[in-house]
Amino acid sequence: MWKHTPNLLSALRLLSVPFFVYFLIADGTVVGARIALVIYFAASITDIFDGRIARKYHIESNVGVVLDAGADKLFVVAGLVCPMILGILPVWFVVILLIREAYIFWIAMEALRKKVLPRPIFLGKAKTVFEMATVVALLIFMAITDGLEWSGLWLLEYGEVNFLTILVSGIAWMGFILSLASVVPYTQIYIEENRKWKERQRQAQNQ
């Protein structure tokens, strides 16, 4: 009964991304933002349950891992790109984050190919928390008001700075800083693991 449930939930999360984008961008209203927020929270709930079901019934699979990670990444990317399109996040801010994600993805794929997966690090986990918090905070703010825009270093509401704009801006900046800071240890770990992999390859050839 539960065999395909985790993968099905992950697939549903993937399929919900276009609807999330539509209500956030094409609709362009506070109501649309509220619907997008509901979709995001529903997707988050399925994310919790698919992992628990897979672990409880020991039905983890490589397909499930890819679907789960893909859905998570797509939601984060959509949650950053959509506000950028609406002028709520600066283009350079989001582009740098996407370049960072592409670089870390390349490292992960290379490590997977060589079976030398870099271990998770605290900065990477903290970055994920703040990045997701940025998406949630922006969605909640967009569901409250349609007068948001990014100017200079801060998010503004109807052209003014207030407590909420400072709070959301601070969360976004923390995620941004942690994203960049985590690149260095990830790179160092991969270089070290790659060096060990090459050494093992040489030893295997000499045997």
| Final residue of a structural domain among 21, 56, 86 | 86
95 and 164 assigned to the same domain: yes
Query: What is the tens place of the pLDDT at every residue in 78-98?
Result: 999 999 999 999 999 999 999
Residue 62 pLDDT > 60: no
156 and 207 assigned to the same domain: yes
- Mean pLDDT confidence for 38-65: 68
Residue 172 pLDDT > 90: yes
| Final residue of a structural domain among 63, 86, 109 | 86
The total number of structural domains in the chain stands at: 2
140 and 206 assigned to the same domain: yes
Query: What is the tens place of the pLDDT at every residue in 13-22?
Result: 888 889 999 9
22 and 5 assigned to the same domain: yes
Angle, alpha carbons 176-89-83 (nearest 5°): 115
94 and 171 assigned to the same domain: yes
Residue 157 pLDDT > 90: yes
| Final residue of a structural domain among 86, 119, 141 | 86
Q: Is the pTM of this model over 0.85?
A: no
Structural domain boundaries enclosing 42: 1-86
